[in-house]
A and B are shown apart, each in its own frame.
Chain A
Amino acid sequence: MSAPFRIDLRDVSTFPTRRDEAWRWSDFRRVVSSPAAPAPEIAAPEPGGPFAAIEASETAFANGRLPDGDATAYLTLDGGVHRLRFVTQADASGWQAGVRILVPDGASVVLLETYESSGGAYVANAALTFHLEDGASLERIVLMDEPADAVSVSTATVELKPGARFAQTVVATGARLQRHETHLEHPGQGVEVRMDGLYLLDGSRHADLTTVLTHTGGGETRQMCKGVVTGQARAVFQGKIEVRPGADGTDARMRHDALLLSDRAEVDAKPELEIYADDVQCAHGNTVGALDDEALFYIRSRGVPEVEAKILLTQAFVGEVVDRIGFEPAREIVGPWVAQRLEALV
């Protein structure tokens, strides 16, 4: 599962099923059983989206199309803040789009990537590639806010040159099936990687955060994924860290912690280590459980009512992921955005 599955919405034989190990908990073909009709052309959206308050340049796809009709964007980002938006207004149809992003030598960029829709049972398939040159730095913040009927897959591959820094925070609220997948090759040589995720799911939503990190030359990776799941929702976390022969000095830490608030909800996790070098320090931790009864009692014994106490604890639980967002203006938008959805969940 080192290379991502290439789904072509026109060809059912490319649709993964649960018999494909990398898709064992997210059966794509079960929810999309026939080729998707092309989504209609729609007008380009007004600039903005969830991150409208932040001054930034913008690339927006409307049903998978750029304003000039192309389905692939080639972006060279040499600094500042850029919004990348995937806006969908479609039903019983789909789109696929590609984005290739280059961050040149020494450039430092923030990418605010959003998946937006006002509703509809669409199928979306976005494929992104990131290429960071020497000493380049990219912080990628992804908000996936899609309708409960939608199927949405976003797959990214990341290539890093020496001294590059890549940080990612994905916030997913699920859909009928929503999958965010990242494949990253870590060459060591001063590269730093942070790979965070957060999911907040209710109803019968399904979100799948999958990451495959390959260390080829040592170096450091930090990964923290958290989630809160209620109703009949289902969360999937698959995190794989592979350390190739010779990647000595690798120091990789992965954590996944999930809160299950309902007996009909489900969390499936596979935190995986595949190590072929000996001078390494790798660790992963995984917990799935309910809110801590004792902590809940402690807070209530100080006079805080049950629902508020639960909100306080869940906010604290997910807050750690939000706090790791480096770009403060984005953190200040994501924080309340997450808090609002959490209150609806608890």
Chain B
Amino acid sequence: MAAVTETIRTVQGLEADKYLHGFVTDIEQEFAPKGLDESTVRFISEKKGEPEWMLAWRLDAFERWQAMEEPDWAKVHYPKIDYQDLYYYAAPKKKPQLNSLDEVDPDLLATYAKLGIPLREQAVLAGVINSPRVAVDAVFDSVSVATTFKAELAKAGVIFMPISEALKEHPELVRKYLGSVVPVSDNYFACLNSAVFSDGSFVYVPPGVRCPMELSTYFRINAQSTGQFERTLIIADRGSYVSYLEGCTAPMRDENQLHAAVVELVVLEDAQIKYSTVQNWYPGDAEGRGGIYNFVTKRADCREARAKVSWTQVETGSAVTWKYPSCILRGDESQGEFYSIAVTNGRQQADTGTKMIHLGKNTRSRIISKGISAGKSSNTYRGLVSSHAKAKGARNFTQCDSLLIGKECGAHTVPYVEAKNAHSVFEHEATTTRLSDDQLFYCRSRGLSAEESVALLVNGFVRDVLQELPMEFAVEAQKLVAVSLEGSVG
């Protein structure tokens, strides 16, 4: 109940503008020439001082991308993207020294402070004793500007650094795993990312190590007309565990901006990765002007026995979302989980869900998806559950619920189930309802306002998923859900 009160207070405390992160940081930046051709790819690779093989990898991706067509099967509509009208690289001019946060541009530090992201370790440490500590990698447009707690993590053997740095310091690891989960030409946006990705996080957790703190990457798009192409690669070696969280925001602009990320997770024997996303890119205004196109490929490969992956996502932002965090359950007894809250309001469009590919014996997966549509938005769950003939004993349970608020929005459920052996059991349940008048009346008769009643009921609707988030982000996410729905009642 405390969290609900908190939500209500947050909603009430809001000014007219409900998107809280829409400010622009005025900072000198360096851009790649606008447009995309081979020289853009070479420019990015050179800026990063990459090895030859990496450039070759990018150029190969670029060549393949040119032969591909943009997908159109998702239930989303947007004007054709002019890929020549974008900047593919934007970085703050004053390059921060990696070892000293003091040399980071104070404007940048202020930006992250405003967003509530602690980049100063002492600021975190100065908090309440035993308060959870979180290591942060902050990515500003195309580059990582700071990574905290690197030293302490290194003591545990955990590598946590920008992927551009990892390419220099741990090229053998990057080369071994990059593209091994999401192949270069997997899909149009992943292929584009492979050619032009600029930064993102790299995590390696050695065998048997339980990562001593939450890791998190905070993505910020700031520059105008700029696409963000981040690349994240996380490897959990045998018997290790890591919990990782990403957050995303962008300024309010009239134009649409492209975010095409690729996230690859490699999970080895008995290892576990918990990956949480709180995605709050600028969704555009009520008329659908501006906002981020969030076209993301996320995939986990449970490569060995008893590997486990858990995706949790709270999706409240972006004008258009196209995103299906997936699990390839290759190892015997490996497990995949997908917990999702997707909130759309205004003219937002989200087509999101997951794929659970059961290849190994006795593999398990669980999907809980909660979609909330309001305003004139469209919210689609799209998912695939499949079992290979050898995946004996595979189990899936899917629960997919949609909630409609208002008469002009859409909620869609498109599950694909492909079962190929007699020893797997797949169960799928889905419901679509609106907030019940009876429940609303009941709440109001107990003294809650219309808005409070909705907040209460929506919180109840998404509770199963919120519980899967790390504690310190659950309250944050809960507020976000309520904020995103503000103005949808009445």
Contacts and interface: CB of A to CB of B under 8 A. Distances in A.
B47 interface: no
A287 B432 contact: no
A261 interface: yes
Interface residues of A, number: 36
A280 B420 CA distance: 34
Contact of A263 (B392, B404, B417, B432): B392
B415 A286 contact: yes
B442 interface: no
A268 B387 CA distance: 10
Interface string A138-164: 000000000000000000000000000
Contact of B434 (A268, A280, A284, A289): A280
B409 interface: yes
B416 interface: yes
Interface in A261-295: 261-290
A21 B409 CA distance: 24
A336 interface: no
Given A271-B428, A273-B413, A245 B422 contact: no
B410 A280 contact: no
B426 A278 contact: no
A260 B416 contact: no
8 contacts: A267-B417, A273-B413, A274-B410, A279-B407, A283-B431, A286-B415, A288-B425, A290-B423
Chain A facing B: main interface SS: strand
A263 B388 CA distance: 9
Given A278-B409, A289-B426, A266 B432 contact: no
Contacts of A290: 422-425
B417 A268 contact: yes
B432 A270 contact: no
B404 A275 contact: yes
B454 to A, nearest CB: 13
B216 interface: no
Interface of A: 21, 245-246, 248, 258, 260-290
Nearest to B435: A278
A275 B419 contact: no
A300 to B, nearest CB: 18
Smallest CB-CB A-B distances: 4 pairs: A289-B425, A278-B404, A286-B428, A288-B419
Contacts of A282: 431-433
B407 A260 contact: no
Contacts of B429: 283-286
Contacts of A275: 402, 404, 410-412, 432
Nearest to B73: A21
Contacts of B487: none
B427 interface: yes
